[in-house]
Structures are given as structure tokens and as C-alpha cells.
Amino acid sequence: MGLIITILIFGFIILIHEWGHFIVARKSGVFVEEFAIGMGTKLWSTEKNGTIYSIRLFPLGGYCKMKDEDTAGSDPDSFSNATMPKKFAIIFAGAFMNFVLALVIFIGITFFSAVATTTVREVTENSPAQEAGIQAGDIIYKVNGKRVRSFEDLSFKISGINSTNKSSEKIDIILKRNGELLSFSLTPKYDESLQRNLIGISPVLKNGLFSKDVEGVEKNTFFGTIRDGYFNMIFTIKVTIIGVIELITGGIGLEQMMGPIGITPVIDSQYESAMKVSVGATILTMLNIMALLSANIGVFNLLPIPALDGGRIVFLAIEAIRGKPIPPEKEGMVHFVGFVLLMGFGIFIAFKDVISLI
């Protein structure tokens, strides 16, 4: 079941991404030659208004092929002849739609599930938080000078992206108590069972607006739901960007990366666990995974790497600086080399995932 769900999730995310390119290209007057979901051999296709719509063999990919995308063209409906703002809008639209999808899903989930707030519900006995003087009812406002918008964000700022980092460094916390801002310094403790740094607080929960009433748990508001869903998306994007930086700088290793093959058993495990609770819980769990992956794919596509949307945006920036475009044939060759390297990297990650499964 995990494999089917993985294909459906990635297929829908790719569809939304390519549709972003497609619809903005059409609105910008650029002709789309083919809109494809999947890569490799064509399994099915149809033509409408000159555009080929196809489904291809390998479901983990897709593309929106525009007229004269990698060659010089003089036709008014060619991509190479479009203005720079239009080119940027077309290229950025794919990742933008991934972020929109993530936002819509996160907001939808928040309507039906509880959210952990930054308000302290309980302080653990003999914990760093208790020793520092933090009390129930306090609202965590900043950690090390940075604003905290959610409990997940708070936990991340305390523990960091690397769960094995047994930090003994002090952190500065600013909180609100009875409308007054108070400052505290404390040192988190590493929990071996959870493998993360903790300060010893549990959050106040807000129940989903459309969830069943729970005694003692306040209902979220409509605008509170929108806000919490938005900050969930922002947090996911931020963690993804930090993860990429940590990967480049060596803070985390390639062994912590997973491709679709590695994600499949995780999705299968989450599915099996959620089905033991209810169908509703399963739907919310799978949607949450889709939102996380959509935000991740959006960030990945904006990396300044040839063949990715971010790589194309780099060429637009160079064009803006030079005052004239780089010849499309040369740019196309760079993107082709980048595509080959990305395929090689993808094969490496797939091989690593298979080895891990074995």
C-alpha cells in the first residue's frame, strides 16, 4: 500500500508543480508544446489546441515543454522571446504552487486537528525550565533573540536539526507573563530515549475548529487556524533550507537523505499506524506527508543548480546584470549537463535507499 500511496502523493505534487509552469506560461502568451506527468516512455497522450498532454512510464517526474525553451526563437509565443518578468514568473510558478499546495493542506489539517501552542501548560519537575523559573501559563516569545511562532519551531530552536547534537550551551528565552516580557537563560538536557535536547515544558493545545470537543481544550479560531497553518508551512520551508545548508557544510551526512524509495516504507509505516486509529486519522496523516514533501520539493527546485528552476532563475539574474541573455543553446547545454548530474545523484540516492532496505 505504501508504494501506491507514494506514487499518488508524488504524482499529485508533480502535477501541481508542472501545472504552475503551464498556467502561467499560457497566461503569459507562451505556447506549451507538451505537458507531461512522469518520465520515459509515453503510456498515453492526447492533443488539444496543439498541446500534447501525456502520461509517461516513470511516475516520479514530469515536465512542461515550452516552445523554444532552450533555443533562440523569434515567434511571439516562444519562451525565448518572452520578457524577463514573464520568464521569471513562469519558472517560479512551479515551486510557488508547491508552497500553495503545502499551505492549503496545512490549513486544512489544522481545521481538524489539535495544535501545540507556545503557551506553557506544565513544567516538568527538576527540569531546566523549572530551575530557571518558567511557570505554567507563560508564553514563549523568543529563543536566542529569534521569534517563536509554534511549538514545533520552539522545539527545533532548542534541539536543532541534528538530533544527536547533545548541546550543553545555554539558550536565552524571552517569554510573556501577565503582559510583561521576562528573560531567562537555561541549559537544555539531552533525553536519550527521545534523542533530543529538552527544557522540560509541555504546551497548551488548541483543538481544531471542526474537531470533536475535548474537555479542557480550547477551540482554535478561524483566523487562528489560518495563521497556524501558515506558520507550519513557513517552519517546514525554513527547516528544509537549513537542512540543505547543513548537508552542504557537512553538518548532516548523505546517509540522512532519502529518495522516493526510502520514503515509501516510512509512508507505509505511517499508514499502518494511522489505520489503527481511524480512516480520518489516516487521511490527515497522508495529507501531512504530502504537505511536507510539497514544501520540500518547492525548496529543492529553487536551488541554484542547472536543470532546476533555481538554475534557470540564476541565468535570468545573469541576463539582468549583463543586459542581454546568454545564448539559449549554451544555457540549454548547461542545463543538460546539470540534468545528467542530477539523474546520477538520484540513482545514487536510490541505490543507497535499496541497500538500507535490504
Residues marked as catalytic: 18
Please enumerate in sequence order all residues whose Cβ is within 8 A of that of 321, keeping only pairs 6 or more positions apart, or say none. none
Joined grid coordinates for residue 347? 540513482
Q: Is 110 helix (H, G, I), strand (E, B) or coil?
A: helix
Place of cell 515550452: 66
Q: Nearest 5 degrees, angle CA 264-CA 269-CA 274?
A: 125
Largest CA distance in the chain: 73
DSSP class per residue in 31-72: PEEEEEEEEEEEEEEEEETTEEEEEEEEEEEEEEEETTSSS-
CA distance 87 to 81: 9
Closest CA to 72 of 81, 64, 63: 81
Which pairing describes strands 196-198 and 189-191: parallel, antiparallel, or unpaired?
antiparallel
CA distance 234 to 295: 9
CA distance 98 to 13: 7
CA distance 161 to 172: 18
Closest CA to 356 of 292, 274, 262: 262
Half-sphere exposure of 351 (CA within 13 A, CB side): 6
Check if the beta carbon of residue 5 is closer than 8 Å to that of residue 12. no
Check if the beta carbon of residue 40 is closer than 8 Å to that of residue 56. yes
CA distances from 81 to 75, 115, 252 (A): 7, 48, 42
Count of CB atoms situated within 10 Å of the CB of 30 = 26
Check if the beta carbon of residue 142 is closer than 8 Å to that of residue 154. no
